């Protein structure tokens, strides 16, 4: 037996006020009954529109063909955009739910219409479905549900593993920036020598986050080793790269795209950068999502982009090492706790970032750390890609 529910008519004052469900309550294999509406039903409408335990319900619109079995021990009414199927024969409604699931996955149920797609009663009547013995229907359902349970478990495990991999990357970065990932070489020039050679007045600082750094390392404020938000000079007619925030990938990827534009069109009102600079999002949630990159491959080596970036340029710090620092929880947390601005537009200021302390290893050790991190992260990315 097949029929649809009642169309909503606010002016109808006949019948009894009762709960009813719509397609917004009906999802694949379950119902969301957080919000259940009411309207009036006459006795004749109740016979047509009432759903009982075991009935198969199918969406006419929206996600056309979406289906679920009403497995509650009470009756409910349906609106006109839901089909109700009730068998005259001793059939497994679960079996026919999976038939609709299978047809939908193969695009055999698509719906008709231009503005609003729909699955009409006529379309349902034309569908051809197998009719195995009831015992075999039940065996098929049990086997399908057994494999779906396995798939669900694997998908959950895969998501859990992805989260664990991200946490592992974070922990590995912390070890790397604490001098615990690669061995030290006593023949390396201490970082303090390089820092003083560039700036004779440089004085090391302290950080409770990095209390026991290896010999040869030094702690510096970001402003001591980077030029922050530098400006470019270029010919107005020169081709440059333009980067908006949505062109920057998040997490640990260090990948982005850019558009080619004339320098005269982007030199004013945007953040400047050039090849080799490190660009770090300063606005939430982009900062927390690790939207940070090393700028490279720009036309004429120059570019500009979103004003929601801080740009760092250094002759002392290996850019890849610095980028890994800017992706650490320590750096991000140091920024987040000083956010200012309204919710959804919170950002960290230059005056805060420049005072954050960065650990500086000898220049050769910076490269060894980068090489080790790239090797480990590549292996973890391979695992993630296979999930």
pLDDT tens for the chain, 387 residues: list them: 777 888 877 667 788 889 998 888 988 888 999 989 888 888 888 888 899 888 889 887 666 778 898 989 999 999 888 888 877 666 677 888 888 788 777 777 665 443 335 677 777 777 777 788 888 888 888 898 888 888 788 778 888 888 899 999 999 999 999 999 999 999 999 999 999 998 999 988 988 899 889 999 999 999 999 999 999 999 999 999 999 999 999 999 999 999 999 999 999 999 999 999 999 999 999 999 999 999 999 999 999 999 999 999 998 899 999 999 999 999 999 999 988 776 667 999 999 999 999 999 999 999 999 999 999 999 999 888 877
Query: For residue 98, what pLDDT is reported?
Result: 84
In the chain, ranges of CATH 3.90.220.20 domains: 2-131, 170-386
Q: How far apart are CA 336 and CA 338, in angstroms?
A: 5
Contact 328, 362 (CB under 8 A): no
Contact 273, 241 (CB under 8 A): no
The SS3 of residue 234 is: coil
Which CATH code of 1.10.3720.10, 3.90.220.20, 1.20.1250.20, 3.40.50.2000 fits the domain covering 2-131? 3.90.220.20
Which residues, at least 6 apart from 284, have a Cβ–Cβ distance to it below 8 Å?
336, 339, 344, 346, 347
Superfamily (CATH) of domain 170-386: DNA methylase specificity domains (3.90.220.20)
Query: For residue 2, what pLDDT is reported?
Result: 77
Beta strands in 212-270 (DSSP E): 218-221, 227-228, 239-243, 259-262
What DSSP designation does 33 have? -
User: 291-323: string of b/e by CB count within 10 Å (b at 16+)?
Assistant: bbbbbeebeebbbbbbebbbbbbbebbbbbbbb
* Number of residues written out for the chain: 387
Q: How far apart are CA 255 and CA 266, in angstroms?
A: 21
Query: For residue 159, what pLDDT is reported?
Result: 85
Which residues, at least 6 apart from 242, have a Cβ–Cβ distance to it below 8 Å?
258, 259, 260, 261, 266, 270, 303, 304, 305
Q: How far apart are CA 99 and CA 103, in angstroms?
A: 6
Our CA angle for 193, 353, 376, nearest 5°, is 70
- Other C-beta atoms closer than 10 Å to the C-beta of 327 total 19
Query: For residue 344, what pLDDT is reported?
Result: 66
């Amino acid at each position: 037996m097949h029929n649809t529910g009642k169309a909503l008519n606010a002016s109808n004052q006949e019948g009894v006020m009762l709960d009813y469900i719509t397609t917004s309550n009906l999802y694949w294999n379950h119902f969301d009954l957080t919000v259940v509406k009411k309207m009036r039903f006459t006795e004749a409408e109740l016979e047509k529109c009432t759903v009982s335990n075991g009935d198969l319900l199918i969406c006419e619109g929206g996600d056309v063909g979406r289906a679920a079995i009403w497995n509650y021990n009470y009756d409910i009414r349906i609106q006109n955009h839901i089909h109700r199927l009730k068998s005259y024969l001793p059939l497994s409604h679960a079996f026919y739910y999976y038939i609709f699931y299978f047809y939908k996955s193969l695009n055999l149920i698509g719906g008709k219409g231009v503005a609003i797609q729909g699955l009409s009663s006529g379309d349902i009547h034309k569908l051809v479905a197998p009719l195995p013995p009831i015992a075999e229907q039940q065996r098929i359902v049990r086997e399908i549900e057994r494999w779906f349970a396995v798939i669900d478990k694997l998908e959950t495990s895969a998501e859990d593993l992805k989260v664990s991999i991200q946490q592992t990357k974070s922990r590995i970065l912390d070890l790397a920036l604490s001098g615990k990932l690669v061995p030290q070489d006593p023949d390396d020039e201490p970082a303090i020598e390089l820092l003083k050679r560039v700036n004779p007045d440089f004085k090391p600082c302290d950080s409770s986050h990095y209390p026991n750094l290896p010999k040869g390392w030094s702690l510096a404020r970001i402003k001591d080793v980077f030029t922050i938000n530098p400006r470019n000079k270029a010919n107005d007619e020169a081709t440059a790269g333009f980067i908006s925030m949505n062109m920057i990938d998040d997490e640990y990827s260090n990948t982005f795209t850019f558009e080619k534009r004339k320098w005269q069109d982007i030199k004013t009102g945007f953040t400047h950068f050039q090849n080799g600079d490190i660009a770090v999002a300063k606005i939430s949630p982009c900062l927390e999502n690790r939207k940070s990159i090393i700028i490279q491959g720009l036309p004429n080596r120059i570019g500009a982009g979103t004003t929601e970036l801080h740009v760092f340029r250094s002759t002392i710090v290996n850019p890849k090492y610095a980028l890994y620092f800017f992706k650490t929880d320590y750096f991000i947390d140091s920024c987040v706790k000083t956010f200012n601005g309204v919710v959804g537009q919170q950002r960290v200021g230059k005056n805060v970032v420049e005072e954050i302390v960065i650990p500086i290893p000898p220049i050769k050790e910076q490269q060894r750390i980068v090489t080790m991190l790239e090797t480990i992260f590549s292996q973890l990315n391979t695992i993630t890609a296979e999930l």
